[in-house]
């Protein structure tokens, strides 16, 4: 008796090897996924770094400009100060002072409405930008003791500034070219007020 043939239901799975290319493609994509993520991350990081570098480059000139503005002042040397004062008369509102070359002798006088006063002493300069006077003032009614007064100097933006110590305000002393507001415009070469000083001295020292 012949063996009956039993029909086999068709399977949904494709024959062996038919779906292999698709599986290989999925595996390749899965293997490349971390690499693609890393590539995208590196690209973003590089873009951010380039943007930061460009911003820093654009801000560099501004920093350089601020550095120029903030250049600190320097002090003139004692020799430079000596050239400014030696053998010159400093004219004041109601008097004057003469800075002699020999022995740094200093003579000064003032003339008020009611009385005159004179002072004699010396002047000196220091390496830290100071010019100091040591004067003893006297008049008909009083005789003072020697007192030291100092003026500081600094060079800022090519101009010399001066202030009275210890806490006076800085003001323009000498610019190049000179400005009408410079204090140094009140300095005259030589002992231009010698006659006035001598007249005041004789008046004060007289017995009358």
3-state helix vs strand vs coil in the chain, percent to 5? 35, 30, 35
Strands 130-139 and 116-125: antiparallel
What does the pLDDT look like over 149-205, one tens digit per residue? Answer: 999 999 999 899 999 999 999 999 999 888 999 999 999 999 999 999 999 999 998
Between CA 157 and CA 181 the distance in angstroms is: 17
Q: Quote the pLDDT of residue 76.
A: 97
CA distances from residue 176 to 76, 159, 182, 185 in whole angstroms, order as listed? 15, 7, 10, 12
Rounded mean pLDDT of 133-150?
A: 95
- For the chain, which residues make up each domain, given as ranges? 19-71, 78-205
CB distance 121 to 139 below 8 Å: no
How many Å from the N-terminal Cα to the C-terminal Cα in the chain?
Answer: 175
Q: Residue 32: which residues within 8 A CB-CB, separation 6 or more?
A: none
Is 0.85 topped by the overall pTM?
A: no
Rounded CA gap, 176 and 196, in Å?
31
């Amino acid at each position: 008796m012949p063996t009956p043939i039993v029909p086999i239901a068709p399977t949904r799975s494709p024959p062996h090897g038919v779906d292999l290319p698709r599986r290989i493609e999925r595996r390749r994509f899965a293997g490349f996924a971390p690499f693609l993520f890393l590539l995208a991350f590196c690209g973003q990081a590089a873009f951010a770094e380039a943007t930061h570098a460009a911003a820093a480059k654009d801000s560099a000139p501004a920093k350089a400009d601020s550095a120029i503005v903030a250049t600190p002042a320097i002090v003139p040397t004692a020799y430079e100060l000596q050239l400014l004062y030696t053998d010159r008369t400093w004219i004041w509102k109601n008097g004057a002072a003469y800075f002699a070359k020999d022995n740094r002798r200093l003579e000064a006088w003032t003339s008020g409405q009611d009385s005159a006063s004179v002072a004699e002493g010396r002047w000196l300069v220091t390496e830290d930008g100071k010019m100091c006077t040591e004067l003893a003032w006297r008049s008909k009614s009083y005789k003072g003791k020697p007192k030291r007064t100092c003026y500081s100097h600094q060079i800022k933006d090519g101009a010399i500034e001066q202030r009275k110590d210890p806490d006076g305000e800085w003001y323009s002393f000498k610019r190049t070219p000179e400005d009408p507001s410079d204090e140094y415009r009140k300095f005259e070469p030589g002992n231009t007020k010698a006659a006035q000083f001598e007249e005041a001295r004789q008046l004060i020292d007289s017995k009358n």
